[in-house]
């Protein structure tokens, strides 16, 4: 199942409403607690913008981590696509139509239960442990996302379809925000995990099945774009680009990020 976002107007980023004095990335819970808190936050938006900005990416985080830890589960690609689609819809609607966002979240839960009760139960218990990171927090500044969008628009043709690859977990919140601000036609957002420092991944966590899928997606969305929230040493982006060269040996791979920690 592919995650497409049709061209629409009216996106209002939840990052525009966050309380910076209380904004922290620290979290300890599981997917069930994230979903419960997201439902509560949608009842009080925009006053819970901190949760509305960070919880949708945590849904993706839980699915990706569960997929890595339970590689024997079938159908996780479709579930990941459902999770990305949900996160994009939650971002799109949470500030302008929270009832629609709540409907989408409840529909996701129902679809997940009917897809596989076993996977649903496993996912709901998937632990989500996140520590605060000052540089990552700075990279989520909506003004930086705006600057990134202008930079991309000024240097790329957005009419030919973009395979928008997002390095997780840190890049996912800003990646969702930048993607929705860009609103590219005939494009798809695809996240994967490569957490060198926090989770000690040695390589991007992309399976052979995912490599085959990415090759098929690139034929449909020919422009490959790689995004991360920040550039510190540059090692993560460099190693990811090298890894992707093995999947796309003849394709150009553009890249961008929100914040340069070296500046």
Residue-wise pLDDT tens digits, 194-215: 999 889 999 999 999 999 999 9
Measured between alpha carbons, how far is 163 from 214 in angstroms, rounded to an integer? 9
Rounded Cα gap, residues 256 and 228, in angstroms: 7
HSE at residue 216, side-chain half, CA atoms within 13 A, is: 8
Token digits of residue 258: 């929100």
CB 196 within 8 A of CB 224: no
pLDDT given for residue 232 in this prediction: 77
Q: pLDDT at residue 57 above 90?
A: yes
10 Å CB burial of residue 263 (0-12, 13-18, 19+) is exposed
Listed range (59-73, 156-170, 204-218) with the worst mean pLDDT: 156-170
Number of residues assigned to the chain: 263
CATH class of 134-260: alpha beta
Mean pLDDT of 166-181: 97
Alpha-carbon span 129 to 198, nearest angstrom: 10
Better pLDDT: 157 or 201: 201
Residue 165 Cα to chain centre, angstroms: 9
**Distance separating alpha carbons of residues 30 and 263, to the nearest angstrom:** 35
Residues paired with 163 in a beta bridge: 188, 224
For 219, the token pair is 């034929």
Angstrom distance (rounded) from CA 191 to CA 189: 7
Tell me the whole-structure pTM to 2 decimals: 0.94
Strand extents, DSSP E, the chain: 27-30, 127-130, 162-168, 188-193, 223-231, 253-260
Could you count the other beta carbons within 10 Å of the beta carbon of residue 186?
15
Which residue's entry shows tokens 């990811």? 240
Closest CA to 164 of 148, 181, 176, 147: 176
In the block, tokens 């629409």 appear at 8
Percent of the chain with pLDDT over 90: 86
pLDDT tens digits for range 219-242: 999 999 999 999 877 899 999 999
Q: Of 127, 22, 130, 3, give the one whose Cα is nearest residue 65.
A: 127
Average pLDDT of the chain? 93
Which of these, 136, 124, 168, 130, lies nearest to 34 by C-alpha position? 124
How buried is 233 (Cβ within 10 angstroms: 0-12 exposed, 13-18 middle, 19+ buried)? exposed
């Amino acid at each position: 199942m592919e995650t497409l976002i049709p061209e629409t107007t009216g996106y209002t980023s939840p990052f525009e409403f966050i309380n910076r004095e209380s904004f922290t990335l620290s979290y300890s819970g599981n997917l069930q607690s994230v979903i419960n808190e997201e439902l509560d936050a949608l009842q009080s938006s925009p006053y819970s913008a901190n949760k509305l900005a960070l919880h949708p990416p945590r849904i993706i985080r839980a699915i990706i981590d569960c997929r890595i830890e339970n590689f024997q589960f079938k159908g996780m690609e479709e579930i990941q696509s459902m999770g990305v689609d949900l996160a994009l819809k939650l971002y799109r609607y949470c500030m302008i139509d929270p009832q629609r966002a709540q409907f989408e979240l409840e529909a996701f839960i129902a679809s997940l239960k009917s897809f596989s009760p076993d996977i649903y139960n496993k996912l709901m218990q998937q632990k989500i442990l996140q520590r605060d990171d000052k540089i990552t927090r700075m990279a989520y500044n909506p003004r930086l996302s705006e600057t990134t969008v202008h930079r991309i628009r000024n240097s790329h043709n957005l009419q030919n379809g973009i395979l928008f690859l997002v390095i997780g977990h840190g890049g996912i919140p800003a990646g969702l925000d930048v993607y929705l601000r860009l609103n590219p036609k005939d494009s798809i957002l695809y996240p994967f995990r490569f957490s060198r420092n926090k989770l000690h991944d040695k390589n991007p966590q992309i399976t052979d099945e995912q490599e085959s899928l990415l090759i098929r997606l690139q034929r449909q969305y020919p422009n490959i774009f790689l995004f991360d929230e920040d550039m510190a040493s540059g090692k993560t982006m460099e190693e990811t680009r090298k890894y992707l060269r093995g999947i796309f040996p003849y394709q150009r791979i553009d890249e961008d990020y929100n914040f340069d920690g070296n500046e």
